[in-house]
Amino acid sequence: MRGVVTTNILSPKILLIENDPTAANEIRAALALASSGFFEVEWVRQLSEGLARLTKGGIDAVLLELSLPDSHGIETFDKLFSTAPEVPILILGGSYNEALAKEAVGRGAQDYLLPGHLNYSLPRALRNAIERKAVEDALYVEKERAVVTLNSIGDAVLCTDISGIVTYLNLVAETMTGWTREEAIGKPLAEVFRIIDGLTRQAARDPMEMAVEQNRTVGLTVNCVLIRRDGFESAIEDSAAPIHDRAGRVTGAVIVFHDVSASRAMSVKMTHSAEHDVVTNLPNRLLLNDRITQSIALARRQNRPIAVIFLDLDRFKYINDSLGHAIGDQLLQSVSKRLLASVRSSDTVSRQGGDEFVILLSGITHPGDAATSARKILLSLTAPHSIGGRDLHIDGSIGISVYPEDGQDPETLIKNADTAMYHAKERGRNNFQFFKAEMNLKVVERQSVEGSLHQALERGEFLLHYQPKINLDTGAITGVEALIRWQQPDRGLLSPSQFVPIAEDCGLIVQIGRWVLREACRQACAWQNAGLPPLPIAVNVSAVEFRDKGFVYGVQAILRETGLEARYLELELTESVLMEDAEATVSVLQELKMMGVHLAVDDFGTGYSSLSYLRQFPIDVLKIDQSFVHQITADPDDSSIVSAIIHMGKSLKYLVIAEGIETREQRTYLQTQLCAEGQGYLFSRPLAAAQFAHLLQMGIRETVVH
């Protein structure tokens, strides 16, 4: 920036460069007369003297004669001007060569004076020259400040004249448009500042035109995208304001804009993460609620149902706890993929957190369609999930609620689907249930059961019943299964289905299971000690107990403590226990096997494991689930499944037992299929210990149940 001249307005100092003393005196007199000492005049006769004086500073204006002893013509002016360009110069004596004087003005002199007009015009010309210079300097400072400011702000600034021709760009505007100032100035705005609507890709409205037309500041254009000269696009926010002249007329416009790509991307990302689950990237509760609300509005208008499916993965917690969260997360991702593949793209699969998923079926025409989807979902989950080199098996329980019957808003629909899901779980998992109003009562009951379950152990409210296993050929008792009962003070004798799932959920099953094992072993010893024939006793082990780290040790300790020989203990595990984590299961089973304990697969046929899959486990006994047995005589399909299981089981050297035999026909059929053993009401219901001892002494007399 050029040096700023401080003008001594009170008594401006004038440097007079004039060789002719007469002319010099004339000028001094004219100045003295006109302004009574207002100007202070210093007189030198040669250019060199003048230059020397100027470099010392303090001169407010120069009166210059171009013809001097040491310099002539325009050269005189040029030398002086280049030494002190900030000082206003007036040329004297234009009369003898007006053309020369004019040339000097063209090169930067403020004015020239004609000798005849000295008295009249000299003081005024000097004053004007000094003032004009001061204004120019002030303007220059102002302009410099504006330029520096415009270049240092983060916003891009672009100015146009009234006809939309670019007149100015700051540095940011240069970078963002890809146009340099030199190239852009003089071009139409639309060429330099190419903007489109990011959504429609149509040209956006010219903000400058609007500002000029409406003579007001025009706000942001939504979704505005600027296309740089090389085609690169950036999201921008812009505003335009009209520029006025002193008379208030619009002379152009200024457009201010900045890049919002980052913040727009951030806000898109924030919206996404606020509405999606981190692990699976599925919509979360928030977005689901939104979708259900929309879907309800549409369904109401179209007078058709929608369904909400609540899915809870069975035993996910144990996989997560035993194999770690990383594996757990991958399993959830795999599950979410299967869910997405089982529903239509118009449906919403969401994760509620934990192992719970909620699926909105918005395109159903009949509640029955939801059952079809539920079946499809359950089936999709059953194939092993191969994660971290292992095959993980998981299944789920589903509850379904239907709009409008089961709820008119998202919260109620989800809550009721959740309730129905609990009922599905109690029904033995891996199935689905539609919501029914009376289920809500049961939830309350469930909570109160959980409350009193905590004290049941200390209060000694549990007891075991015993059911014999029979050799189907001879009718002899070959073993006994211990089945837990809860003598609940308010509710009477409860069966395992009424409390075991709850005990599993809250973890109490581990302690309860220990008690069962100890009591069963103690009872078996007591019978032996009483002289009854020694019988293997079977104890049911739930997945939660089996996965407990102290399980094997607990079994060992109880055998030692009660004195029961290991070969008289049989542990019954369901297929799902075996399917959960095959590798870990094999090693636990082997430890038990080494101890001499027998192992049985309970409820075989209800899971999805095949016999060949089971071969990797050291199993002794296969118990065919009672649902097949019940159907034997009614359904030829079931009977052929049963005979297939019996034959394959036998060929794999398993002892095959049929559960739930209630009729002679069932027994006869099983016998013809060479099933070794059976269990069921036909032979005996589960009995209290004393009654069972009696039965042992007396032997079995078949009773037919209906």
Which residues form the interface with Mg ion (CB under 5 A)? 540, 572, 602-603, 659
Beta carbon of residue 644, minimum distance to Mg ion (angstroms, whole number): 19
Shortest distance (Å) from residue 536 CB to Mg ion = 13
Minimum distance from residue 646 beta carbon to ligand C2E (Å): 18
In the list ligand C2E, Mg ion, none, the entry touching 483 (Cβ below 5 to 8 angstroms by class) is ligand C2E
**DSSP character at residue 60:** -
Residue 310 makes CB contacts below 8 A (sequence gap 6+) with 356, 357, 358, 398, 399, 400, 401, 414, 417, 418, 420, 421
Residue 356 interacts with which of ligand C2E, Mg ion, none, CB < 5 to 8 Å by class: none
Please report how close the Cβ of residue 669 comes to ligand C2E at its closest, in angstroms.
Answer: 15
Nearest approach, Cβ of 616 to ligand C2E (angstroms)? Answer: 23
With CB under 5 to 8 Å by kind, the binding choice for 660 among ligand C2E, Mg ion, none is ligand C2E
Pairing of strands 677-678, 462-471: antiparallel
CA distance readout (Å), 181 to 159, 169, 227: 11, 6, 17
Residue number, 580 or 659, with CB nearest to ligand C2E: 659
Total residues found in the chain within this entry: 706
Nearest approach in angstroms of CB 565 to ligand C2E is 21
Q: How far is the CB of 297 from ligand C2E (least distance, A)?
A: 45
> Position 464: which residue type?
L
277 or 662: CB nearest ligand C2E: 662
The neighbour count for residue 273, using CB atoms within 10 Å, is: 12
Min dist CB 299 to ligand C2E, Å, is 40
Using the minimum distance from each CB to Mg ion, give the nearer residue, 68 or 601.
Answer: 601
Q: How far is the CB of 597 from ligand C2E (least distance, A)?
A: 16
Burial class (CB in 10 A: 0-12, 13-18, 19+), 447: exposed
Nearest CA-CA partner of 646 in 619, 669, 662, 618: 669
Minimum CB separation of residue 572 from Mg ion in Å reads 4
Our CB check for ligand C2E shows the closer of 224 and 509 to be 509
What values do phi and psi take at 278, rounded to 5?
A: -65, -40
Nearer to ligand C2E, 338 or 522 (CB): 522
- Of 418 and 659, nearer to ligand C2E (C-beta) is 659
CA distances from 679 to 372, 484, 657 (A): 35, 17, 7
Closest CB to ligand C2E among residues 367, 513: 513
Which one, 314 or 603, has the nearer CB to Mg ion? 603
Kindly list the residues in this chain that would bind ligand C2E in the complex (CB under 6 A). Answer: 467, 483-484, 495-497, 500, 513, 516, 540-542, 572, 602-603, 626, 659-662, 679-681, 686
Pairing mode of beta strands 356-361, 306-314: antiparallel
Buried b (16+ CB within 10 A) or exposed e, 189-220: beebbbbbebeeeeebebbbbbbbeeeeebee
* 525 class by beta-carbon count within 10 Å (0-12 exposed, 13-18 middle, 19+ buried): middle
H/E element, 583: helix 582-595
Alpha carbons 428 and 602: distance in angstroms, whole number? 13
How far is residue 87 from each of residues 5, 47, 190, measured CA to CA in Å? 8, 15, 43
Residue 180 vs 703, nearer CB to ligand C2E: 703
Closer residue to ligand C2E (CB): 158 or 646: 646
Q: Which is nearer to ligand C2E, 407 or 680 (CB)?
A: 680
Written as one letter, the residue type at 695 is L
Q: Is 345 exposed, middle or buried (0-12, 13-18, 19+ CB in 10 A)?
A: exposed
> Which partner from the list Mg ion, ligand C2E, none does 418 bind, CB cut-off 5 to 8 Å by kind?
none
Shortest distance, CB of residue 605 to ligand C2E, whole angstroms? 12
Burial class (CB in 10 A: 0-12, 13-18, 19+), 235: middle
Instruction: Rank residues 320 and 609 by Cβ distance to Mg ion and give the closer one.
Output: 609
Q: Which is nearer to Mg ion, 204 or 675 (CB)?
A: 675
Beta strands in 592-651 (DSSP E): 598-604, 621-624
For residue 485, give Cα distances in angstroms to 462, 497, 545, 688. Answer: 6, 10, 18, 10
Q: What is the 3-state secondary structure (H, E, C) of 64-131?
A: ECCCECCECCHHHHHHHHHHCCCCCEEECCCCCCHHHHHHHHHCCCCEECCHHHHHHHHHHHHHHHHH
DSSP states along 451-505: HHHHHHTTTT-EEEEEEEEEETTT--EEEEEEEEEEEETTTEEEPHHHHHHHHHH
The CB-of-483 to Mg ion minimum distance in angstroms stands at 7
In whole angstroms, the minimum distance from the beta carbon of 362 to Mg ion comes to 40
> What gap in Å lies between CA 440 and CA 97, rounded to an integer?
113
